[in-house]
Amino acid sequence: MLIDLPKNQRSRLTERRTGAASSLAETDANLALLSLVSEKLQAQAQLKFQGDFLQHILDAIPAPIFYKDVQGVYLGCNTAFERYLGRSRDEILGRTAFDIAPAELARIYHQADQNLMDAGGVQVYETRVLGADGQAREVMFHKSVFSSAEGQPGGLVGVMLDISERKEAEKRLRRLAQYDPLTDLPNRVLLEERLAEALGGKNRQGDQGALLVLDLDRFKEINDSFGRAAGDEILVEMGKRLTGSALEGDTVARLSSDEFAVLLLDGRGKRDMTLEAKKILALMNTPHFLEDGQEVQIGASLGITFFPEDARDGKTLLCNADLAVHEAKLLGRNTLQRFTPAMSETLSRKREVLAQLRRALQEQQFFLQYQPQFDAATGRLVGAEALLRWRLPDGSLVSPQVFIPVAEEAGLIGPLGDWVLRAACLQAKAWRDAGFPPLRLAVNISGHQFVRPGFIETVDLILAETGVDPTHLEMEVTESTLMRSVSSTIEVLTDLRVRGIHLAIDDFGTGYSSLSYLKNFPIDRIKIDRSFTRDMTTNPDDAVIVQTIIAMGKNLGLEVIAEGVENAEQRDFLLRHDCRYMQGYFFGKPLAAEEFARLGAAAEALPS
Ligand code: C2E
Ligand code: MG
Ligand code: MG
Q: pLDDT tens for residues 454-476? A: 999 999 999 999 999 999 999 99
* Residues within 5 A (CB) of ion ligand 2: 444, 476, 506
Q: Please report the pLDDT score of residue 13 as a whole number.
A: 43
User: Which domains are delineated in the chain?
Assistant: 60-162 (3.30.450.20), 183-343 (3.30.70.270), 348-602 (3.20.20.450)
Ligand 3 centroid to residue 324 C-alpha, Å: 28
Q: Is 506 in the pocket of ligand 1 (CB under 6 A)?
A: yes
Q: Please report the pLDDT score of residue 360 as a whole number.
A: 92
Please name the residue whose Cα sits nearest to atom 46 of ligand 1.
444
Please write the tens of the pLDDT for every residue from 126-160.
Answer: 999 999 999 999 999 999 999 888 888 899 999 99
Distance CA 33, CA 45 (A): 18
Please name the residue whose Cα sits nearest to atom 27 of ligand 1.
400
Please write the tens of the pLDDT for every residue from 166-180.
Answer: 999 999 998 899 999
Collect the ranges in the chain with pLDDT lower than 50. Answer: 1-21, 202-203, 604-608
Ligand 1 centroid to residue 51 C-alpha, Å: 96
Ligand 3 centroid to residue 550 C-alpha, Å: 16
Please name the residue whose Cα sits nearest to atom 11 of ligand 1.
590
**241 CB-contact burial (10 Å; exposed 0-12 / middle 13-18 / buried 19+):** middle
In degrees, rounded to 5, the angle at the alpha carbon of residue 556 between the alpha carbons of residues 555 and 559 is 95
One-letter amino acid of 393: P
Ligand 1 centroid to residue 569 C-alpha, Å: 22
Q: Is 563 in the pocket of ligand 1 (CB under 6 A)?
A: yes
Work out the number of other CB atoms within 10 angstroms of the CB of residue 248.
Answer: 5
Q: Is 590 in the pocket of ligand 1 (CB under 6 A)?
A: yes
Task: Give the nearest ligand 1 atom to 408 CA.
Answer: 44
What is the DSSP code (8-state) at residue 470? G
Q: Please report the pLDDT score of residue 22 as a whole number.
A: 54
Ligand 3 centroid to residue 335 C-alpha, Å: 26
In degrees, rounded to 5, the angle at the alpha carbon of residue 496 between the alpha carbons of residues 425 and 514 is 120
Facing residues of 145 across strands? 156
Contact 191, 263 (CB under 8 A): yes
